[in-house]
Amino acid sequence: MKQHFTAPIPLSLYIHLPWCVRKCPYCDFNSHTAGPNLPEELYVHHLIRDLEENLPAVWGRRLTSIFFGGGTPSLFSARAIERILTEINTRWRFGPDIEITLEANPGTVDESRFKDFRQAGVNRLSLGLQSLQDDKLKALGRIHDRDHALRAIEIAQQAGFENFNLDLMHGLPNQTVSDALSDLRDALATKPKHVSWYQLTIEPNTLFHHQPPTLPSEEVLWEIQEQGKILLAEQGLQAYEVSAYSRPHAECAHNLNYWEFGDYLGIGAGAHSKITDMEKQTVTRHWQVKNPRDYLDATKKWRAEERILSNKEIIFEFMLNAMRLTQGVPVTLFTERTGLPLSVIEPTRLAAIKKGLLIENSEQLCPTELGQRFLNDLIEMFLQHA
Ligand SMILES: C[S@@+](CC[C@H](N)C(=O)[O-])C[C@H]1O[C@@H](n2cnc3c(N)ncnc32)[C@H](O)[C@@H]1O
Ligand code: SF4
């Protein structure tokens, strides 16, 4: 069946800045230890060319959010961030209310840089706290301690970042329920608008995979999750996605666009894009070469791969993202974003309702509590039946 798109699809921009002071032992992101000389200027030059090369595919479309992710984008100077934003602004329409987020590591914070980021147009900061207990930060190989982390939040607030997110992880080596709750309590005392609260996962190709730390038992992990959710809600932060908690109207617009299966252009080493072509009626995914050295090599191509998604992939990817949302999505969004009639998933939708994994509601595709707990089972149903 051919897709048929009618409604415009929102578009966001992701900019990958791939360097960190050093690699954390649990991290599987495309991040690389920065040498003494960060090739900042050269990288910015390549980012802008990358953007230009991709512009024809998104020509005339309005941008809804920009996200500087990493790696550690706060390693870059405010001058570089400003230059990137100015170059985008001269080529592309975005409104004054656009969300512009930058990820920062508390070990790379200084006062004037944060003020300058704000001045450059960044209006949302995402601080990678991970924990507020020194022994846990040490076990995670972080370059900052508790005092650095609290100071970074203060500096962000003084620099005018009212809208900030705190990244915290739980299920850390030797962590007790009370350790995890104490991290949450201390972080919430700083009044963040948003908290991303991730359970530590041991990823292949990380140091933790080769030398596994002692992690809490399943029972402790369950207690942390249950009690943590209650604590976050008591403090006014509601879960709206598996790991994302926000105050009302402070959801991360950029991540919401991923979860609602909007389009995104990714520039920088290893960045992924998903673009719907309304004329050709296709959805294309492409990604850039992963290694920054290759990305900066003028003799090599940026594009690592590009392909048009099949219906099966589109359906699966839509469900993979949308079912992460606590309230799910309106059923109409399925057709809007996949270009396919709801009838293609109707038998699977009904089967999932019967299994108690989806709520019985003809207006909304929404996981039940059971569906949220067994998310992989729910999503896999749509892989098999698509
Ligand atoms: C792309 S990282 C960048 C943030 C920034 N570089 C930092 O670490 O401060 C985004 C977030 O993913 C989370 N994360 C990274 N690896 C993880 C893992 N193995 N398990 C769970 N969360 C992880 C961390 O909370 C991290 O802040
Ligand atoms: S600082 Fe962030 S991106 Fe860099 S290695 Fe650590 S977790 Fe990964």
Q: Return averaged pLDDT per consecutive 10 residues of the chain, 386 residues in all.
A: 89 97 96 92 96 93 95 96 96 88 91 94 97 98 95 96 97 98 98 98 96 96 97 98 98 98 98 96 96 92 92 96 98 96 95 97 97 96 73
Ligand 1 neighbours by CB, cut-off 6 Å: 20, 26-29, 69-70, 72, 103, 105, 128, 130, 167, 169, 198, 200-201, 203
Q: What CATH number belongs to 11-256?
A: 3.20.20.70
Inter-residue contact 128 to 71 (CB < 8 Å): no
- pLDDT recorded at residue 95: 80
Q: Give pTM, 2 decimals.
A: 0.96
- pLDDT recorded at residue 24: 96
Can you tell me whether residue 291 is helix, strand or coil? coil
Can you tell me whether residue 28 is helix, strand or coil? coil
- pLDDT recorded at residue 377: 96
- pLDDT recorded at residue 386: 45
Question: Beta strand 282-288 with 19-20: parallel, antiparallel or unpaired?
Answer: unpaired
Inter-residue contact 24 to 140 (CB < 8 Å): yes
Alpha-carbon span 310 to 358, nearest angstrom: 25
* CA 336 to ligand 1 center in whole angstroms: 32
96 vs 11, 100, 121, 205, CA distance in Å? 16, 10, 10, 41
Ligand 2 atom 2, closest CA: 71
Alpha-carbon span 5 to 276, nearest angstrom: 9
Burial of 346 (0-12, 13-18, 19+ CB in 10 A): exposed
Kindly indicate whether the domain formed by 311-386 is annotated with CATH number 1.10.760.10. no
Structural domain spans, the chain: 11-256, 311-386
- pLDDT recorded at residue 35: 86
Closest ligand 1 atom to Cα of 73:
6
Of the residues 140, 148, 167, 210, which should be mutated to test ligand 1's pocket, given the most ligand atoms within 8 Å of the CB? 167
Ligand 1 atom 2, closest CA: 70
